[in-house]
Structure 1
Amino acid sequence: MAFDTNAFLIIFTGSLIAISCGFLGVFMMLRKMSMTGDAISHAVLPGIVIGFFVSGSQRSLEVIIGAGLLGILATLMIDWLRKRARVQLDASIGITFTLLFAIGIILINLLAYKVDLDQECVLYGEIAYLPIDSWITKNGMNLGPRITWLAGLNFLFVVGFIYLLFKELILTSFDENFSSVMGIPSKGVNLALMSIVSYTTVSSFESVGAILVVALLVVPPATAFLWTKSLMPLLKLTAILGVSIALFGYYLAYWIDSSIAGMMVTVAGFFFLISALIHSKKPAWLKGTSSSNPPLEFE
């Protein structure tokens, strides 16, 4: 199979989304909040419906703003239930996303029952359609797929966010009380992180769908964590896994004529299972090897 332009665009866009989600997922995992991304992906449905009702378009800025605000609201609800109501984190996440998701379904039935907008089209995307959705200028110039530009912009946002708040993210992820003593506004940093997670989740819906977004937030960081406990190698390995998932997922989907997004999730799960099996065998494999040059180095 020749590597054509469409294949490159799909793999490149998938890689950008995978790296963006993976980087954020690393800090979510360190905070033991990995499944908050799943909650956000469901909880933003009311915001999407309201944004669509206001603008009349699924691709408008109002939809992104509405979904982002609902993502922040979901984060605040989870935090309030966990800290003030003293509900366990997993229960807080379950209560929040089921409540907001149910409200979104009700709003669809009330406000959008005559249009093609339902929970299925919101939660599932197909990246294979990406090449045919191009930005065309007034002069007739084709700037390439709109989703690719949005994925690139989101990638820059995520990298810039981590670069600017790297120290704050580390301190608040490992010891929130100590960071507060150091004068770092841990609640503000957490809210900023959840806000960009919300934006990344929503901006990736149309191209890959919520299922793949949640998988990319959780699986690559968890897989990388099996191989290294150092933060910088963890981020680098997460990025490598993200690109590998996009690459192998595309070609395997092409080979068996299946969903690209679904195959990417499958590849991510396969990488994790293989890593878990290797990690479980580590003590036996390291027996008798030189400590100065171990095959896996954990810090």
Structure 2
Amino acid sequence: MGFLVAGTCGLVGCFVILRRMALVGDAISHSILPGITLAFLITNSRDTLPMMLGAVVAGVVTVALIEAIRYTSRIKPDAAIGIVFSSLFAIGVILISVFADEVDLDAECVLYGELGFIPLQDIAYFGEIVIGPEPVVRMAIITLIAIVLLFAFFKEMIVTSFDSGLAASLGINPTRYQYGLTLFLSIVIVSSFESVGVVLVIAMIIFPGATALMLTDRLPIALVLSTVISGAYSLIGFHLATWLNASIAGGMTVIAGIVFGIVWAFAPQRGLIATFVRNRQIIQGSALNFSREEK
């Protein structure tokens, strides 16, 4: 389950980072709380479909509010994101508090989750064949959909991510793909929050893609690297959490931070050491040219 969440978030996260939407992903992950709470209150059901619909609506509202604040005021994007996600998350917490007897949701569950309880979840069947725990099956389907959509709209996603003006001139609507990415991001988050929590989802949206993009300039390679890196997070994080008797989601997030720190320092092109050496060579070359000119 951890690998499915990390891998899917990593694939989506590469495009989120390229579009400079990392903070928007954070905002959506917090802002879905009122959406899923209202969905439960309206339908009195914890079925996947109403929860996803509530999360998707909340995600779209979040992005729409952020864009509205940006374009109708002098408030900068980071401040707009902070205003929207903190307000919507607070509304969700208040709804849970007020309707605590009716809402079978726990704010700590939403934030932290617990991967260790997944084997205790309801089992999914295909006819009489046992497939596995429902959260794992659901996330596997979301992962498969992510891969299919990636192959189907790869060209459009690349063009709209790097140059929205060029995309518009080619007849590709950048706004449509922006909201499409937002919709899918909301679905991924709500599919994951009960088992892994929002904290891990936020980390996996950012860390695998950011780490991969530090290592390569080619997006296809970055997508593959983000998947491999996500697998490493899952495996090492699980063993770390088992050894420390701690949260699996916390272990994966810690490993993600450590791996990014190592790559940040030692990446061959963009790492701190490589950048320092390159800048030093430039300074030495400039100084040498200057001394020759004086002579």
Which is higher, the Rg of structure 1 or of structure 2?
Answer: 2
1:38-187 → structure 2 map (5 Å cutoff): 38-113=26-101, 115-135=103-123, 137=125, 141-187=129-175
1:173-212 correspondence runs (5 A): 173-212=161-200
Aligned Cα root-mean-square deviation (Å) = 2.0
Question: Which residue pairs with 2:274 in the alignment?
Answer: 282
Q: 1:246 to 1:134 in 2, by over 3 A?
A: same
* Aligned 1:234-273 pairs, distance under 5 A: 234-273=222-261
- 1:124–1:209 Cα contact (<8 Å) kept: yes
In structure 1, the residue matched to 2:215 is 227
Paired residues of 1:51 and 1:62 also in contact (CA < 8 A): yes
The answer to whether the Cα contact below 8 Å between 1:52 and 1:60 also exists between their aligned partners in 2 is: no
Tell me the amino acid that sits aligned with residue 206 of structure 2: V
Give the Å deviation of 1:285.
7.3
Q: CA deviation at 1:106?
A: 2.2
8 Å contact kept, 2:207–2:260 = yes
Aligned residue type for 2:261: L
| Residue 15 of structure 2: aligned partner | 27
CA drift at 1:60: 4.1
Q: Which amino acid is the alignment partner of residue 11 of structure 2?
A: F
TM-score by length of 1: 0.86
Which structure has more helix as a fraction of its residues? 2
Q: Structure 1: 5+ residue runs without aligned partners?
A: 1-12, 288-299
Normalised TM-score (structure 2)? 0.87
User: What amino acid is aligned across from residue 281 of structure 1 in structure 2?
Assistant: I
Q: Comparing 205-214 with 176-185, which one deviates more in the overlay?
A: 176-185
What does the per-residue CA deviation read over 1:259-281, in whole Å, with 9 as the maximum and x for residues that have no partner? 11110000000100111111211
Range 55-64 or range 224-233, more displaced? 55-64
- Structure 2: gaps (5+ residues): 280-295
Find runs of 4+ consecutive structure 1 residues off by over 4 angstroms: 113-116, 136-141, 283-287
Distance 2:108 2:81 in 1: 21
Report the count of equivalent residues: 275
Query: Equivalents in 2 of 1:97, 1:260: separation in Å?
Result: 26
Give identity over the alignment, percent.
38
